[in-house]
Amino acid sequence: MKKFFCLASAILFLSTSIVFAESWGIHFPKDGGRPEANASAEHLAQFDAYFMGNESDKVLYLTFDAGYETGLTDGILDTLAEHDVPAAFFLVGTYIRDEPELILRMAREGHIVANHTMTHPDMSKITDLDTFAKELARVEDVYKEVTGEEMPKFYRPPSGTYSETNLKHAQELGYKTVFWSTAYKDWELDNQPSHEEAFAKLIPRTHPGAIILLHNVSKTNAEILGELLVRYKDMGYRFEDLYHLSEEACAAIVAPPIIVSPS
């Protein structure tokens, strides 16, 4: 009955769908409130795609993107273990191939290792299903070689660049596409934000159901992560993994639709 309700709700909102931009973007009308994005949660739901969870529940979903290692990930994993927080790591295939011990540790400690493509291309330029599938399947193969397990079916487009066709292809392959609703400029190694700048960006953008995007190449992120997690918990939030998101996010479909334009 629940699955039927979610499907019916998604169909209901088709009439309010918008034209997708090809680069994911968000902005915040007010601190702590629901962000506006290129596409609404209601529209994305029909493709098993998400940028946030249920906004009536004070849950956060912590995610990291990585294409290479800078020696910080072990410390990040230590902090996550200390605070008992699950995370999802969206990794390119070469990272999984080159850092097998880190991958095994992530999986062993209950984190999700998710698909960020093999070569980090502009996925919006890929229009046929076979080419799209190969980009993800190569990552699946490397992950299985390292862990002996099947890769979890969560996918994030590199740089957030996508098309509606991509979303359909991912869905056909059994994947859930995961964007984000909270992020900041943290990926430039030679231009790292100060601790104060990081908190000033991240804390006001926190909202119920937030999918938080960080990069584990960031020295600042590694240094502030423990305090950041404590602040989030002090604000009344708890952390869940992406399986919880995919189970609960259909509740967001019943929220009042909003019409947004690219920021």
Given the residues 48, 65, 186, 241, select the one marked as catalytic.
65
Catalytic residue check, 65: yes
Q: Which two tokens stand for residue 35?
A: 């962000």
d(CA 201, CA 197): 6
Q: Where are the alpha helices (DSSP H) in 46-184?
A: 73-83, 93-98, 100-108, 129-147, 164-172
CA distance 177 to 60: 17
What phi, psi does 212 have (nearest 5°)? -95, 130
Give the C-alpha separation, 108 to 148, whole Å: 12
Is 116 marked active-site? no
3-state secondary structure of 83: helix
Selecting among 116, 207, 215, 241, the annotated active-site residue is: 215
CB 239 within 8 A of CB 12: no
- Residue numbers annotated as active site: 65, 215
